[in-house]
A and B are shown apart, each in its own frame.
Chain A
Amino acid sequence: VRPRLRCSLLFSYLDTVKGDRKSSRFRVTLGDRMELIVSEGNPQCLKVLAALGLTGVQCPVQHVHHEETVVPFLSRPALPALLLPNGQHLFSANAICQYLFEVNGQDSSDLCRQWLEWEATTLQPALLQALHKAVLQGKGSEMSQILQGPLNYLDRSLSKGNTTYIIGEAVSVADVVLWAALYPVLSELSSVKSWFDRIAAIQSCKSAAQKVMQGKGLQGMKSYLQRQPAPQSSQCSDTHEEGERVVSEEEMEAAFLAWNRVLNVGSPSTERHHPILPQEGKRNILLTSALPYVNNVPHLGNIIGCVLSADVFSRYGRLRDWNLLFVCGTDEYGTATENKAREEGLTPKQICDKYHAIHSSIYKWFQIDFDFFGRTTTEKQTEIAQDIFWRLHKHSFLVEDTVEQLRCETCQRFLADRFVEGICPHCAYPEARGDQCDKCGRLINAVELKQPQCKVCKETPVIRSSKHLFLDLPKLETQLEQWLDKSTRTGDWTANAKQITRSWLRDGLKPRCITRDLQWGTPVPHPDFKEKVFYVWFDAPIGYLSITANYTDKWEKWWKNPQQVELYNFMAKDNVPFHSVVFPCSLLGAQDNYTLVNHLIATEYLNYEDTKFSKSRGVGVFGDMAKDTGIPSDVWRFYLLYVRPEGQDSAFSWADMALKNNSELLNNLGNFINRAGMFVTKFFEGYVPAMELQQEDKKLLALVSWELQQYIQLMDKVKIRDALKHILNISRHGNQYIQVNEPWKKIKGGETERQRAGTVTGVSVNIACLLSVMLSPYMPTVSQTLRDQLNAPQSCLNTMLQGTGAFVCSLRAGHRIGTVSPLFQKLEGDHIEALKKRFGGQQVFYGSLWTTAQKAVGSQPADAPAPAAPAAEVNGVDPEKAKQLTQAVTEQGDKVRALKAQKADKAVITAEVAKLLDLKKQLAVAEGKNPEPASQKSKKK
């Protein structure tokens, strides 16, 4: 190809463009004041030099160092650059190439633009990452994997188009740009290769390559690459195309290798020795859940938002063999407790004791496995809070100011926020509290309330001033921002946590009052403020430290050890600013090398049916009532985690809970696990059969391994709800596998068929074992029961979740399993309806304060059976008979399936189905469940 300068063509083209008088200027200045500036070792420069040679446009070229600033308005050096005749700079290599081609009369077509856009948005990010790995990290072997997606795409397009160049039979700007981009890394792909060689043979390209790369190969770019920002690895994953996942040979081989691995011996992760302290060489994780406020019973929204999410992650972390300490406790000081005490005629201390016990028992029922569940009203709290206070004081981060406050003359005291009620100044809601309006949710300054009332004596308070101490947040802002920048960059902060924090900083920080005119609190040690206590927002987060101090004397090894310890905070989003801005400021200001939060995990809100859970209004299901429903704790956990408000608000709904229980737990997960176990029991006398893996089985192993890897990746990032979906995917794969292979039929066949039934059964029961491990953080009881049923070695727990995950065959041929029985029960429609009515609460709870609601519920004798509790006491329960019937149901079920598969006479099938339904009914009675309605479609066992 000979470079041509087709000015005449260009001008005739330009004349066709409307309003194009200016083009004459072009003629005069072209090549006049234009200048191309390039540097060595930068592949982008390859593009423009090749294009310049190819188009033959006359333009002086200047070589500079790649760090030289050429384009005046860019803060980072950007090369190549083209100084245009009108004095403007072009800094995009692709735009420069397009310009040079256009000057030469070759306008970019749609297709051409498409390739350039693909190059800039898809190829470049992958290339940068690949080069970064190869040149700077010496991992050249990873290049091909990173580039595989885009190169395959290019290869396919080239072989499909079957043209000499990318677009047709002539060299276009797209050819030059792509060739130059790929020059450093080109691989062996056949179509790409022959096309690439064609372009490389062009003289202009050859000399451009020589000029830029200096014949030094990849290392020639080192200096340039070192100065580029490190690419984000996520960019390369985008190059995969969507759609059905195809399992590659390599994946199957890798899965097969993992399958044959031996379980780790010993099981250190299942044993805990208290006190747990940071250990050298381990990942040391300190995990906190937001401290629940003591004066109320937590509702499901609180449970999923903090303690349950943190519990799942801590159980997972222990399985990953992290050295982990999980602490929590009740937040007990403050106005609300004083109020509550007044209402119930008890002292604040008595209230705290009472509710602390209620909290403990609820979390115990939900199987929240704290290492320590403490409280904030302790000696240690006073000690540590006062120490932090004096340190802040010493470093002059406290300022004094006078505050206008409401004072009740009758009660002779200043009224803290919650001791006042009045009309909301924003929405006119009549029962707004002194700090916040429940209706519009806005924060209120108590003195702004219209018609304020003392909550105790109902008198109208007066406005008086009182002296208070403030934490000087503006003074700490720079320090905070530096820390935040690092923490949010290196840690896993949920999007809402980052966003809420940003919005707080954006609005600018103001000094925050840390003292309060109350008695029930940590006393302020300063003599000028001796009548006052610390405001709860200052005091409560210090509870994390004091609770740890009550757990171990060596608490500072966790809390003053940011070098060794990673801190995770779990909370609902309303708590974010206190954990990301206010508390870190206290700790930063105290200057004692405190451990600050590394990962801030905040949930959105869980709504109840269609309305909000509200503690103060008593709407929704409360922790202590969950157990009265007769639904097992594990099922509650499962459903709450399934609808965990991760990334967006979600809703609790009774109907949905029943649906998820019946469709996911019973028909998907439970069905698969039970089938796998029953096949071993029935067809192989309880011994895991020999397995001869075929291609199809290896493919299944690969699919399961992939789901396992996804699960681990998501769990590592605390995407608890998303990870759960992958567990359910595995049992779906398993069900499909059994359905396709029909071991119940093959077992009756010849030797080969029987062997096949053995393999399918063996693989399935091993998948069940893997599921027990993956389920363990979510449903600890079910997980343990399942392992007991399978008689699985405890060591499978700490083998399969190590590293990126390994699906190991932990139940080898000849392994004896225990007695298999169903893990889940159906939730019947009428049961759920009754629960919904009972807790739906509108008539009981709505519009009344929690206390009244509790009284309403409490008026039922506590031990009387709930009207809709599961009919566990139905007569006729007989475990022995149930066992026999289970067997009979299974056999009858298989018979029906066989008949259906043979396409037998309809009347025959109907008769057998009737028998099956009858057996199931008997079974249900024997198990103490309500017999299913006869119209129920026969389920596959």
Chain B
Amino acid sequence: MALRELSSLEKYLGLKKPNKYSTQGDKKVPVLQNNTGPPLVGLVTVACHLVKEAKRPELLGDSAESRAVVQQWLEYRVTKLNNCTKDDIKTILKDLNMYLQDKVYLAENQFTLADILMYYGIQPLIVDLAIQEKEQYVNVTRWFDHIQHYPGIRRHLSPVVVLRNRIYTSRHH
């Protein structure tokens, strides 16, 4: 799973030469085999490395604050979104929904690596949501739909229909 994310990320970044990966341990933590140095271990670590390799530092944030925010959500992604229980999912969606209330992207108005990896990580949860639930977490679904349609991001994942087309609600008539 993590390896597919990384390969999608590579494609998005336009990295010409695909890197060599392996995994480690039961959790299949991705490992990047590096020609120049020791191997890099961990999804966040490898992803940040790829971004730097592609000379796209703005994807890690363009200020110390946004860089911290990006790192924070990347950590959130690998600690909270992997192997979460049903209750966890509810909390995650609720919190994220609150957080995204006044934001376009996770790091305010700037598209970053945090959006990409959070999207890859949360997609399986969103797939399982009923329409009503998607409507309950409207900010998450808005953000999610935005990211899945961001050029070059979706790659290995199938699109999720997130919102019903409601032109008029019945209440108004």
Q: Which residues of A contact B (CB under 8 A)?
A: 10, 14, 17-20, 22-23, 25-26, 72-76, 84-86, 88, 90-92, 94-96, 98-99, 102-103, 108, 110-111, 113-114, 116-118, 120-121, 124, 237-242, 485, 489, 502, 506-508
Contacts and interface: CB of A to CB of B under 8 A. Distances in A.
A269 B63 CA distance: 70
A120 B78 contact: yes
B38 to A, nearest CB: 8
A98 B44 CA distance: 14
A99 B65 contact: yes
B86 A485 contact: yes
B44 to A, nearest CB: 5
B84 to A, nearest CB: 11
21 contacts: A17-B58, A18-B58, A22-B62, A72-B98, A73-B95, A74-B98, A84-B65, A92-B76, A96-B68, A99-B65, A99-B67, A102-B67, A103-B64, A110-B48, A114-B45, A116-B75, A117-B41, A117-B42, A238-B25, A238-B26, A241-B24
A118 B42 contact: yes
A26 B63 contact: yes
Contacts of A25: 63
A75 B95 contact: yes
B65 to A, nearest CB: 5
Contacts of A23: 63-64
A430 B109 CA distance: 57
B131 to A, nearest CB: 9
Interface in B14-37: 24-27, 29
In the A-B complex, the 8 residue pairs with the closest CB atoms:
A95-B72, A99-B68, A73-B98, A117-B42, A73-B99, A114-B45, A92-B72, A506-B130
B50 to A, nearest CB: 10
A108 to B, nearest CB: 8
A19 B56 CA distance: 11
Contact of A113 (B44, B72, B99): B44
Contacts of B71: 92, 94-95, 98-99, 108
A102 B41 contact: no
A90 B64 CA distance: 12
B57 A18 contact: yes
Nearest to A108: B71
Contacts of B72: 90-92, 94-95
Given A120-B78, A238-B26, A86 B41 contact: no
Nearest to A99: B68
Please tell me the size bucket of the interface on B.
35 or more
Contacts of B128: 502, 506
A50 to B, nearest CB: 17
Given A17-B62, A26-B65, A238-B26, 5 more contacts: A20-B62, A23-B63, A94-B71, A99-B71, A121-B27
Nearest to A92: B72
B26 A117 contact: no
B24 A95 contact: no
B79 to A, nearest CB: 5
A237 to B, nearest CB: 7
B90 to A, nearest CB: 9
Contacts of B4: none
A237 B85 CA distance: 18
B75 A75 contact: no
A85 B79 contact: no
B142 interface: no
Contact of B64 (A72, A73, A99): A99
B26 to A, nearest CB: 5
B68 A121 contact: no
Nearest to A498: B86
B3 to A, nearest CB: 16
B58 to A, nearest CB: 6
Nearest to A508: B130
A828 to B, nearest CB: 41
B149 interface: no
Interface string B107-140: 0100000000000000000001110000000000
B13 interface: no
Contact of B69 (A10, A22, A95): A95
A121 B78 contact: yes
B11 interface: no
B127 to A, nearest CB: 11
Nearest to A98: B71
A508 B82 CA distance: 27
A104 to B, nearest CB: 10
A241 B45 contact: no
A48 to B, nearest CB: 12
Nearest to A25: B63
B146 interface: no
B65 A88 contact: yes
Contacts of B63: 14, 20, 22-23, 25-26
Contact of B108 (A17, A88, A116, A507): A88
Interface in B137-155: none
B104 interface: no
A114 B68 contact: no
Contacts of B40: 110, 114
Nearest to B70: A95
Contacts of B98: 72-74
Contacts of A90: 68-69, 72
A114 B42 contact: yes
A834 to B, nearest CB: 45
Contacts of B94: 75
Interface centre among A95, A108, A508 (most CB of B within 10 A): A95
B49 interface: yes
